[in-house]
Amino acid sequence: GNSVTQMEGPVTLSEEAFLTINCTYTATGYPSLFWYVQYPGEGLQLLLKATKADDKGSNKGFEATYRKETTSFHLEKGSVQVSDSAVYFCALTNSGYSTLTFGKGTMLLVSP
């Protein structure tokens, strides 16, 4: 079956530090990959997505590259801000099916 594994948090960084949140997956076929972000007290928001191998998704300074050879979709940002503090979820869907399989989430805490 499908599964997503994320690095455990919390990840604690100072403002302007470099961010990496690791995500690996197991899936049949050719999944689409997503990063969602959940700010305190809010619902999930799509941050970025990639639908085929070697695609790079990017948004708000975040980016992630779909690596089929390593079954990974790591999230990166060059310089984090306090406002980036949130929980980040890696997720996938199988081609043709829209059911999202989520990882457990990684909390990011950015201090000034």
Tokens (6 digits) for 53: 């191998």
Task: Give how far Cα 76 sits from Cα of 18, 20, 44, 97, Å.
Answer: 7, 5, 19, 27
* Stretch in the footprint of another protein (CB under 8 A) among 11-19, 44-52, 62-70, 74-82: 44-52
The reply on whether position 28 binds another protein by CB under 8 A is: no
How many whole angstroms separate alpha carbon 88 and alpha carbon 85?
Answer: 9
Q: Which position among 19, 49, 63, 110 is part of the footprint of another protein (CB under 8 A)?
A: 49
Q: How far from each other are the two terminal CA atoms of the chain, in whole angstroms?
A: 41
Q: Which is nearer to another protein, 17 or 94 (CB)?
A: 94
Question: Does residue 45 touch another protein according to CB under 8 A?
Answer: yes
Report which DSSP code applies to 83: G
Name the residues that contact another protein, by CB under 8 A: 4, 31-32, 36, 41-46, 49, 51, 89, 91, 93-100, 102-105
